[in-house]
């Protein structure tokens, strides 16, 4: 269950971050040793798709979820789970602890999650789904019930296109969370000195942009981690972030070069809804 961060403690975390440029708050201790062991066992499970396991070296699931403090009895909401990479970890993990897992996305983007639930009901049949953006639907995550909301490589999508909805997305996420609840964000990191226009086309987004969106919605930054940094990624590729693995849009052209670079350089930010 989400342990609320007291105001004075949160202020101390933020003050530390402000005082030490480039320092990162390590929240891995938020999990007990037993909880971390359970998480490690789920990540090591043979039930995961081999192609997903191969990407652990880029996505660092144990360290990332430990940093966000995701506990197995939490109500966890994953935004736009896509192909279900994290679903294969989060759904069994929270089931083990009696928690609740929501996959939240536009209906067309929930197909893979529904396939998982149908194919392996013992592992994934308990998954709850809800639409996002919420719109007029009544089948939603009830306001003020989520302990943790997680979004992996999605904020850039909410910024792109003719009708960006990032502001509304963060407001809706804020409403889902309990006071003291956590929003965990991982996304492709555009350098702060990069052209802001590239946030509309490249798949990369600045940390300052994500902070602005979150803080505008009412969140406070509780910490950030270098867990998912990749210094080989210069974020200036011909086809944006999709030039790199796993998409590799250039095909055979310079493939070895891009594979050697690996997946993108990513921010890992932890926000808290104040008490």
pLDDT tens figures, 190-201: 999 999 999 999
- pTM to 2 decimals? 0.88
The CA distance from 82 to 151, in Å, is 11
Window from 17-21, 26-30, 81-85, 165-169 with minimum mean pLDDT? 17-21
Burial 78-114 (b: 16+ CB within 10 A, else e): bbbbbbbbbbbbbbbbbbeeebbbbbbbeeebbebbe
User: Greater confidence, 24 or 238?
Assistant: 238
Architecture in CATH of 7-272:
3-Layer(aba) Sandwich (3.40)
Which pLDDT belongs to residue 140?
85
What was the pLDDT predicted at 6?
44
Tokens 């070296």 correspond to 57
Structure tokens at 84: 């279900």
Residue 267 — φ and ψ, nearest 5°? -80, 150
Tokens of 188: 């492709």
pLDDT attached to residue 80? 95
Cα distance between residue 13 and residue 2, in whole Å: 18
Q: Count of CB atoms within 10 A of residue 22's CB? A: 6
Task: State the pLDDT at residue 100.
Answer: 97
Residue 10 pLDDT more than 50? no
pLDDT for 201 equals 94
Where do we find the tokens 């993990």? 93
Q: Higher confidence at residue 22 or residue 194?
A: 194
Confidence at 123, pLDDT banded by 50, 70, 90:
very high
Query: What mean pLDDT comes out for the span 138-152?
Result: 92
Non-local CB neighbours of 238 within 8 Å, separated by 6+ positions: 250
Residue 25 has pLDDT above 70, yes or no: no
Per-residue pLDDT reduced to its tens digit, 43-98: 999 999 999 999 999 999 999 999 999 999 999 999 999 999 999 999 999 999 99
pLDDT number for residue 164? 84
Q: Is the pLDDT of residue 161 over 80?
A: no
- The token pair that represents 244 in the structure block: 């790199």
* Domain definitions of the chain by residue range: 7-272
pLDDT mean across residues, the chain: 89
Helix (H) or strand (E) holding 90: helix 87-97
Cis peptide before 133 (omega within 30 of 0): yes
pLDDT for the residue 162: 78
Residue 170 has pLDDT above 90, yes or no: yes
Cis peptide before 246 (omega within 30 of 0): yes
pLDDT of residue 30: 73
Rounded CA-CA distance 233/197 in Å is: 19
Question: 3-state DSSP call for residue 64?
Answer: helix
Question: Rounded to whole angstroms, how far apart are CA atoms 189 and 211?
Answer: 12
- Output the six-digit token pair for 237: 């590729």
Give the tens place of pLDDT for each residue, 236-268.
999 999 999 999 999 999 999 999 999 999 999
User: Is the CB of residue 137 less than 8 Å from the CB of residue 184?
Assistant: no
């Amino acid at each position: 269950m989400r342990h609320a961060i007291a105001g004075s403690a949160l202020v101390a975390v933020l003050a530390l971050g402000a005082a030490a440029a480039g320092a990162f708050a390590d929240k891995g201790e938020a999990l007990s040793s037993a909880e971390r062991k359970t998480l490690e066992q789920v990540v090591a499970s043979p039930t995961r798709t081999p192609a997903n396991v191969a990407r652990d070296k880029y996505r660092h699931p144990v360290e990332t979820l430990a940093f966000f403090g995701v506990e197995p009895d939490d109500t966890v909401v994953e935004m736009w789970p896509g192909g279900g990479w994290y679903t294969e970890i989060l759904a069994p993990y929270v089931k083990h602890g009696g928690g609740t897992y929501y996959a939240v996305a536009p209906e067309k983007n929930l197909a893979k999650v529904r396939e998982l639930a149908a194919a392996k009901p013992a592992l994934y049949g308990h998954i709850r789904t809800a639409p996002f953006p919420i719109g007029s639907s009544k089948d939603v995550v009830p306001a003020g019930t989520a302990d943790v909301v997680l979004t992996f490589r999605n904020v850039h999508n909410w910024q792109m296109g003719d009708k960006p909805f990032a502001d509304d997305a963060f407001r809706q996420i804020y409403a889902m969370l309990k006071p003291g609840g956590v929003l965990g964000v991982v996304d492709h990191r555009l350098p702060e000195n990069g052209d802001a226009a590239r946030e509309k086309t490249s798949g990369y987004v600045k940390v300052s942009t994500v902070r602005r969106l979150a803080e505008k919605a009412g969140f406070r930054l509780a910490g950030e981690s270098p867990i998912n940094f990749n210094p080989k990624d210069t974020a200036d590729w011909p086809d944006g972030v999709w030039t790199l693995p796993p998409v590799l849009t250039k095909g055979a052209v310079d493939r070895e070069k891009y594979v050697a670079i690996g997946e993108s350089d990513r921010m890992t930010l932890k926000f808290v809804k104040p008490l």
